[in-house]
């Protein structure tokens, strides 16, 4: 009995190399351009990520005010904000500081999940490592926009098409 196989070759894959400051490729993103849902997924990514980044900033501002109201003069810096790092801090954090760092850690975890849902599991870890920085995430997302345009996908066109697709249709009564 003979064995056979099917070889699928997808010529519609667009790759983007992510490089570090030394120009070393640290990760390669692959986008399947013939995926009919790709533009919708991309729009959802930017909507969710932008909302999360705005929420992080708003929560930071709110909690910084609480920290000042507790009598602290500044918010201490914590490298690589994660729940584990917050719990391992030697000094005692005030309730507002603990709330501040915990909220940030949860927001960054959520942002990583949003990005990984679109880019593939483990992508954020490969690109950012353990570092969590709002500006770093923002710069990354902004850096992807020109790549999407090179693929022929423009955010304005996607938003207009989504509006046309999901806007209420006028029903004519005869």
Q: Tell me the pTM.
A: 0.71
How far is the CA of 164 from the CAs of 19, 71, 86, in angstroms? Answer: 38, 53, 46
Could you read off the pLDDT of 73-105 as tens digits, one per residue?
777 666 667 777 677 665 677 888 888 888 888
Q: Is 34 helix (H, G, I), strand (E, B) or coil?
A: coil
Cα gap 16→85, rounded to integer Å = 32
Could you read off the pLDDT of 126-164 as tens digits, one per residue?
999 988 887 888 899 889 988 888 887 766 555 555 555
Confidence of residue 173 (pLDDT cuts 50, 70, 90): very low
């Amino acid at each position: 009995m003979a064995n056979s196989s099917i070889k699928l070759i997808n010529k519609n894959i667009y790759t983007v190399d992510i490089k570090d400051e030394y120009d070393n490729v640290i990760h390669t993103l692959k986008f399947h351009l013939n995926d009919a849902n790709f533009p919708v997924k991309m729009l959802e990514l930017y909507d969710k990520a932008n909302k999360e980044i705005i929420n992080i900033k708003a929560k930071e501002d709110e909690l910084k005010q609480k920290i000042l109201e507790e009598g602290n003069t500044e918010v201490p810096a914590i490298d690589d904000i994660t729940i584990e790092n917050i719990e391992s801090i030697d000094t005692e954090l005030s309730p507002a500081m603990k709330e501040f760092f915990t909220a940030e850690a949860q927001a960054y975890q959520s942002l990583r999940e949003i990005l990984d849902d679109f880019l593939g599991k483990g992508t954020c870890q490969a690109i950012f490592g353990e570092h969590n920085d709002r500006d770093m995430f923002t710069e990354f997302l902004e850096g992807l926009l020109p790549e999407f345009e090179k693929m022929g996908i423009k955010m304005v066109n996607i938003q207009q098409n989504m509006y046309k697709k999901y806007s209420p249709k006028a029903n004519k009564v005869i």
